[in-house]
Structure 1
């Protein structure tokens, strides 16, 4: 932004300088040539009058001396002809005495009583000369013609010097304006950069360097003050939400546990006909506990700002498959693991385990006995071919599957499929998506080729996408273990 402001400022000043200096330089060059030509013509007319007087008194022999004296004083070449155009004297000795030059344009014009001022190329390369030819006398018959020739090199040198001075002055003005413009641009962009840093810090969860409200233009000062108030308010809200999540997790666990114990204590005293109602109450109690844990997990995820770390995908998949194998065998369902080895992905600490637990719980809930749940890892290249590849984790079951409309709504909070059992809370898949997004990935539900559902988790490969790793603290591990407390072999399906 500083560079753009400075360039726009300099462009405007450059246009102004060009609009002023170029016309001035052109006008100066033309006026100097005109002044020099007029002075040379007046001087030549004076010389012509002297030559006319010499010739009237029969002193034509003095013409060479007069011409040489004039040429030395004016640094010019002088040529004098008679009334018929014959050369009387030439200080440069280029035209012999007696040669008739009446055929030349300027001599012919002067013999007709009119002066001629022309510019021609000189014998030297790039050298211009000025021809000033005037008649001697104003009578009907011109007694003599005087031609003076001046080299324009010194005049052009003066004009070029003026152009050089104009260029130096223009560069000096541009340099001065650049310093002033840079200072002004910095005074504008410095508060903007401070706001940018503060915004990045706010995105990380906490502002450690708030923007100053006493620098820059008044508009940016007011913007910085408004941003600081807004950021402070947001931090207070985030802190209140985190405090609420922490306190509610303790406040709700105790009464729910006590209520469950009281319901279980009723069992010995209930009639057999009330046993089903007690079981339903305990099931609803269990569902309420899972729902509370899911809500708390979502609240913690939305309030936290933990950086992803590199995780070995195949190792986590193998570990979770081993944990769930015993539960799957009780239902007569197998778990198959396949795919690439050594794949590392970016994920929030503990998130990958919870994602697999939720998806396996859902898959095992709908898998008929005698079928298998497949965990497959695949490395796929992006469609544009320029961005780094991603690792895909497929959790494929052989259950009844879901319609396209149900798959589109499956990630809505508290939504459950119409044919789902009543144990689910509708929070498992929203938690999975939130955890995948926290690591820069995504999750979708697709129809499996042989029937059933294919839950596809796409995560960025750690080996091809540079990312700043942050050490995982014990607080991170405790926080993410607490988000997993409601997921396990008894987890719910939407």
Structure 2
């Protein structure tokens, strides 16, 4: 912002300088040439009058000395011709005495009593010259013609020196204005930079250095005050939500555990016909407990600023596949791992394990015996608007699959397919999406080519990321670990068919 303000300020000043200095320089060059031409013409006319007088008194022999004296005094070359255009004297000795120049345009015009002033290129003079040709006579008869030639080099050098002085003055003005503009721009943008730092701190989860409200323009001071008020309120709301989630976690676990124990104590005293109702009640209690744990885990994820880290994707996939193989064997379902190796992706600590556990749990619920679940890792190009390449994790089952409408609603909280069993909570896929997005990725559900469902988790490749790895705090790791252990336990119980 400082650079833009400074550039706009300098552009305006430069435009003003050009509008003033360029016309002035052009006017000065033209006026100097006009003044010089007028002085040369006046001098040539005076010399022509003197030459005429000399010729009238029969003193033509004095013309060479007169011409040389005038040439030395004015720095010009002087040529005098008679009434027929024949050269009488030439200080430059370019035209020999007695040579007829009446055919030359300026001499011809002067013989017709018409003075001529102009410029032309003269290699012998080293560039442009100014020539003045005037008749010497006060009546219709022109007894002689005088031509004076001046080199324009000194005049051109003087004009160039003036242009250089104007350029130096302009650069000096620009430098002064740039210094003043830089100071002003820094003073204007200082509150904006403070707001930027405060916004970055707020994005990290806590505002420790609020922007000052007594510096900068009035508009920015009011903006800083409003931002501080909003940030303080947001922090209070986040703290209240975190406290609520923590309190609910403790307040709900105790009555749920107590209620489960009381229901289990009824079992020896119930008639056999009521045993089925007790089993269903215990199953609903287990489902309610998992639902509460899932909601609390989602609340912690939404309220925690967990930074992503570089994770070895294929190592995590192999580890989770080995753990779930035993559960899959109980249902006569195989787990196959394929795809790229040594792929590192960005994910929050413990997120990949929870994502794979939830997706494998869902796949096992719908996979018929004799089928296989495929875990495939595929490198993919970056999406539109992304500069880093992506990596895809596909969890493919051979179950009944989902319709397009069901796939669109699958990530809604508490939503379950109409033909799903009553053991699920409807929070697994929402948690998968939350964890994936926390690492900068995305998850989608598509129909598998051979039937079934393909859960595609797209994650950013860590090798092409330009930022350094962000270490997570111990609290974040502990939170992720507790959520992972709870999810694995509940998912494994569901895979075994337990209530």
Q: What TM-score, normalized by structure 1, do the two folds share?
A: 0.91
8 A Cα contact 2:340 2:379, kept in partner: no
Q: Secondary structure at the match of 2:279?
A: helix
Q: Tell me the CA shift for residue 302 of structure 1.
A: 0.7
Q: Tell me the CA shift for residue 349 of structure 1.
A: 1.4
Q: Secondary structure at the match of 2:253?
A: helix
Q: Tell me the CA shift for residue 353 of structure 1.
A: 1.6
Give a deviation string over 1:6-62, Cα, whole Å, max 9, x none.
Answer: 333323322222222222111111111111111111122222222222233333333
Structure 1 partner of 2:381: 382
Q: Secondary structure at the match of 2:53?
A: helix
Q: Tell me the CA shift for residue 410 of structure 1.
A: 0.5
Q: Secondary structure at the match of 2:491?
A: coil
Q: Secondary structure at the match of 1:141?
A: coil
Residue 17 in structure 1 maps to residue 17 in structure 2: yes
How has the CA–CA distance of structure 1 residues 9 and 466 changed in structure 2, closer, same or farther, with 3 Å as cutoff?
A: closer
Structure 1 partner of 2:82: 82
Q: Report the more deviating stretch, 373-382 or 69-78.
A: 373-382
Structure 2 partner of 1:488: 491
Structure 2 partner of 1:172: 172
Residue 469 in structure 1 maps to residue 469 in structure 2: yes
Aligned length: 492
Alignment of 1:40-439 (within 5 A): 40-124=40-124, 126-368=126-368, 370-382=369-381, 388-439=388-439
Q: Tell me the CA shift for residue 429 of structure 1.
A: 0.6
Q: Tell me the CA shift for residue 299 of structure 1.
A: 0.6
Distance 2:19 2:473 in 1: 65
Distance 1:219 1:182 in 2: 20
8 A Cα contact 1:314 1:343, kept in partner: yes
Q: Tell me the CA shift for residue 341 of structure 1.
A: 4.1
Distance 1:376 1:44 in 2: 104
Q: Secondary structure at the match of 1:490?
A: helix
Give a deviation string over 1:244-263, Cα, whole Å, max 9, x none.
Answer: 11121111111211222222
Q: Tell me the CA shift for residue 66 of structure 1.
A: 2.3
Q: Secondary structure at the match of 1:479?
A: helix
Q: Tell me the CA shift for residue 475 of structure 1.
A: 1.8
How has the CA–CA distance of structure 1 residues 349 and 125 changed in structure 2, closer, same or farther, with 3 Å as cutoff?
A: farther
8 A Cα contact 1:373 1:395, kept in partner: no
Distance 2:134 2:276 in 1: 134
Distance 2:338 2:434 in 1: 25
Q: Report the more deviating stretch, 273-282 or 72-81.
A: 273-282
The runs of 5 or more residues in structure 2 that have no matched partner are none
The runs of 5 or more residues in structure 1 that have no matched partner are none
Distance 1:117 1:32 in 2: 15
How has the CA–CA distance of structure 1 residues 107 and 371 changed in structure 2, closer, same or farther, with 3 Å as cutoff?
A: same
Distance 2:275 2:325 in 1: 32
8 A Cα contact 1:113 1:138, kept in partner: no
Distance 1:95 1:448 in 2: 103
8 A Cα contact 1:296 1:483, kept in partner: no
How has the CA–CA distance of structure 1 residues 11 and 473 changed in structure 2, closer, same or farther, with 3 Å as cutoff?
A: closer
Distance 1:13 1:426 in 2: 65
8 A Cα contact 1:362 1:491, kept in partner: no
Q: Secondary structure at the match of 1:392?
A: strand
8 A Cα contact 2:360 2:395, kept in partner: yes
Residue 443 in structure 1 maps to residue 443 in structure 2: yes
Distance 1:443 1:343 in 2: 18
Give a deviation string over 1:326-361, Cα, whole Å, max 9, x none.
Answer: 433433434344444443332221112211221222
Q: Secondary structure at the match of 1:446?
A: strand
8 A Cα contact 2:336 2:372, kept in partner: yes
Distance 2:52 2:340 in 1: 113
Distance 2:105 2:236 in 1: 96
How has the CA–CA distance of structure 1 residues 78 and 250 changed in structure 2, closer, same or farther, with 3 Å as cutoff?
A: same
Q: Report the more deviating stretch, 146-155 or 10-19.
A: 10-19
Distance 1:71 1:175 in 2: 47
Structure 2 partner of 1:38: 38
